[in-house]
Chains A and B, each alone.
Chain A
Amino acid sequence: MNSPLHPHGHVTASDGQRLAVHTAGDPARPTLLLVHGYPDNASVWAALAADLAADHHVVAYDVRGAGRSTAPDDRSGYRMDQLARDVVTVADAVSPDAPVHLVGHDWGAIQSWHAVTEPAHAHRFASYTAVSGPNLDHAGHWLRRRPDGLRHVLRQSVRSGYIGFFHLPGVPEAAWLTGVGGLALSALERIGGGPHTPARRATRDYLNGLALYRANMLPRLTRPAERRTDVPVQVLAPTRDAFMVDQVQSNAARWVEDLRFHRFQGGHWTLRSRPAAVARRVRSLVAEIESGAPRPRRVRTAQQARRHGGAFTGQVAVVTGAGSGIGRSLCFELAERGARIVAVDVNGPAAERTAELSALLTPGAGAQRVDVTDAAAVAKLAEWVRDEYGVPDLVVNNAGIGVAGPFLDTTSEDWERVVDVNLWGVIHGCRAFAPMMVGAGGGGRIVNTASAASYLPSRVYGAYAATKAAVLMLSRSLRGELADSGVTVTAVCPGLIDTGIISNARLSGMGERSAAKDRLNRLYRLRGYTPEKAARRIADALDRDPEIIPVTGEAHAGLLLSRLSPGALRAAARLSPPV
């Protein structure tokens, strides 16, 4: 691709190094400052700049040692404080009067993180978009305190193995010069799919940049400082990044007042070949900040802030059936973890109530009264969400109703109602939201509430189980279908949760007999599994994007039995109801 970036001359850094600057677009527009990573040079931005130059003043520069910039003689010239000063020097040169919107990738993101978390520099930045690069001090804290558990630290260690290699004297240089390193890199670049665009790199890009690792990694990771910022930051994490797990990046929520964490489909260098998802997020953040709209502050107790990383921070989550039960609790749980909630329910006031309380945890929640059985209404909802919030990161098709009773007593009205809500509601939700999530570049999650009844046959709830089994299989199939587009689909199978679903359930053939309901309600209460606990389990599990999330013990055991010993379940299906 022909780069729209044109050489603009050089800027002299505070220590005398000359940094090559390239620009595109109308200088009267908001300035985007792009900082590339290793072993790249400013040409890595060609495709993204081509997209964004239409309505922005785009500036990229070659980091010291790379591209057409000069290289310091000594490793100390690559220290982080100097790299952050370079970012500010270029910003001052290209946009002396207005703060710039930073975009960093890989090592460029690491440097930019350092610049925005430096109190003396922060006022030069209107916003910051980090692609595949954490703040090294944040990462240092994350490795030591392991807030997301040891598992993720180990996963990250595997992905960071090359860093140790880069510290060996002479060996990485030899690898690059012999072409071995180039082959390995080329393989890594293909991870995440998408068209492969060969990078334009020079030998000096490979060699000089090694000093970035050698000068900064050890001191930053072993003696991390507290680095905070008020600059609005969005972190964009490719779903298949070869070098980074989500958590090491999303954990920044602890130190950043206004953090948004979004994923997009692709690998570490996808922005080079398929920049649309990144361009869309950058454009939207810049527009939001430039519009001067007030940025709401989150209210969290200190305990809540300590408890959660940022896996859902700044994401938009649409939840149906949000007026009660698991849906409502999931809204609160996700809001506490930083998500902006769109609470949807057929009961308007209940949805509003959920949104009100969610907004007290994370500002910006909204409510919609929608009947999920109405395809047109759900489609309209999806459009409204896209217009008001942007394409959602998370859609939870949770609305459902309970129907119990023997098949022979279930009326066709009961059947239609339960199929309409439990199955068609999910279908409408997936049909309305999946296309826009795929179109936006992926990285989103669709969660459908099925039930442990979907794999536990029983004479007690044939109609209900049939709809939920359909939801489970729909989710599993859709998961396969959307895998290539980076949207994951998960089915939740709760089990017995004390949500009040029984009070609202239709008991076919039993009229409105409340004695049976009373006994069932008591059973659910004695089971004592609260919707709050279920929501916590679901939110925790979403981290891994599993195919099925069984929530309670009986849901786990049932799933295991359905696979290991279906015969036992056949017998259990014949048991009379306990009511």
Chain B
Amino acid sequence: MSHTKVTGDTPPQAELDAFRELQQLAYRAASDVAATLEPGVTEREAARRVREHLEGHGVQDWFHTPFAWFGDRTAFRGFRVPLQFFPSRRRLEEGMPFILDCAPVRDGYVADIGYSGYLGENPLHDRLMDDLRAHRDLIVERVRAGDTLQSVYRAVDALIRDQGYDNRHQVYPGRVIAHQVGKVRSRLPRAVVAGFGVRSLQTLVGDLVVERMHHRSPLWADGDISAHPATPGMWAVEPHIGFRDIGVKFEEILVVTEDDAHWLDDDLPHVRRWDSRTRGGEPPAPAPPVSSPSPTTEVTR
């Protein structure tokens, strides 16, 4: 098996391009479907639309089939068991946030993306999306600096706390903020079990075993097993922040090389959104005006 090569492997440029192309396709599917969502649509229906959209574009297999979360399910409120991640009959209402998350596989290449949106208008959701940008910057900077995954995770946690939000990726199985991805090389038949493609799972489990032998993990969390710098390769990173009933996330691939790290692609909906809001004269991360009777004044000595 090829698992001995899991570590220390940055894919060649041609492969990176193929990964990038699939990630673009997945984001396009999510944003196209998001534009069609109307009040009354269920999570299952939304997930089905993403699935059909991608299967119409040559996707043959799934790392995991599309997820859709509406309302307070975007923040995973009340999630106790993994089954609750699966699309439900929750109906979208005017003013509800939603997240579409899918991980298609095409010709062995994998994408894993998360798309956050909102039906109607909501300044609070805008605020969370704006604040998510700092996490994207923080993660790549810390990985570049050679910090351990554990300490990057904790830095993200601290930033979430400072921002006044709470960490929702800790609800994912294993509390993971990211997991390693690579080309699927499996001879198993294509099948989806409990939402996850068996070929991708086999690859992931194989990685788990090999990495465990190196006292590392392809799953990036805050445990001691993540107390090592990012291994070269590709990581699907998904910081997920929550505030009250709203959760927002992005998920995209971070490319880690021996001495550097960069996001696979910057031409993504959330990045374009941040750029346009900065250019549009709106403040990038800092405060919108607090609707306070008077500006903050200092009362102390």
Residues of chain A touching chain B, judged by Cβ–Cβ distance below 8 Å, are 296, 299, 301-304, 324, 328, 332, 336, 346, 348, 350-357, 359-361, 363-371, 374, 376-377, 380-381, 384, 388-389, 500, 530, 532
Contact = CB atoms under 8 A, between A and B. Distances in A.
Given A332-B164, A354-B164, A302 B96 contact: yes
Contacts of B296: 348, 351-352, 355, 366-369
B291 to A, nearest CB: 5
6 contacts: A301-B71, A352-B287, A361-B124, A361-B244, A377-B300, A388-B294
Given A348-B296, A369-B298, A380-B299, A299 B291 contact: no
Sorting the interface of chain B by its residue count into under 10, 10 to 19, 20 to 34 or 35 or more gives 20 to 34
Given A301-B71, A369-B299, A370-B299, A357 B127 contact: yes
B287 A357 contact: no
Given A352-B287, A360-B123, A530-B166, A303 B72 contact: yes
What's the dominant secondary structure at chain B's contact region?
loop
Contact of A301 (B95, B166, B292, B300): B95
A365 B291 contact: yes
Contact of A353 (B164, B246, B301): B164
A333 to B, nearest CB: 9
Contacts of B294: 366, 388
B52 interface: no
A366 B298 CA distance: 12
Interface in B65-83: 71-72
A360 B293 contact: no
What's the dominant secondary structure at chain A's contact region?
helix
B147 interface: no
Contacts of B244: 301, 304, 332, 336, 361
Contacts of A363: 291
The 10 closest A-B pairs by CB, nearest first: A366-B292, A377-B300, A360-B124, A388-B293, A371-B300, A363-B291, A367-B296, A370-B299, A380-B299, A301-B245
A329 to B, nearest CB: 9
Contacts of B166: 530, 532
A365 B298 CA distance: 16
Nearest to A352: B296
Interface in B135-174: 161-164, 166
Interface of B: 71-72, 93-97, 122-124, 127, 161-164, 166, 243-246, 287-288, 290-294, 296-301
Given A299-B122, A364-B292, A381-B299, 20 more contacts: A299-B124, A301-B71, A301-B95, A301-B97, A301-B244, A302-B94, A304-B244, A348-B296, A357-B243, A359-B291, A360-B123, A360-B127, A361-B124, A365-B290, A366-B290, A368-B296, A370-B300, A371-B301, A389-B293, A500-B161
A355 B298 contact: no
Contacts, number: 102
B40 to A, nearest CB: 13
A356 B290 contact: yes
Contacts of A304: 244-245
Central interface residue in A352, A360, A364, A365, by most chain B CB within 10 Å: A360
Central interface residue in A299, A380, A381, by most chain B CB within 10 Å: A299
B142 to A, nearest CB: 19
A361 B123 CA distance: 10
Nearest to A382: B299
A363 B97 CA distance: 20
A353 B162 contact: yes
Contacts of B163: 353
A58 B299 CA distance: 40
B96 A301 contact: yes
Contacts of A381: 299
A377 B290 contact: no
B130 to A, nearest CB: 12
B243 A359 contact: no
A419 B94 CA distance: 50
Contacts of A388: 293-294
A352 B299 contact: no
A357 B123 CA distance: 10
A364 B72 contact: no
Contact of B93 (A302, A332, A361, A530): A302
A522 to B, nearest CB: 10
A124 B166 CA distance: 46
B299 A367 contact: no
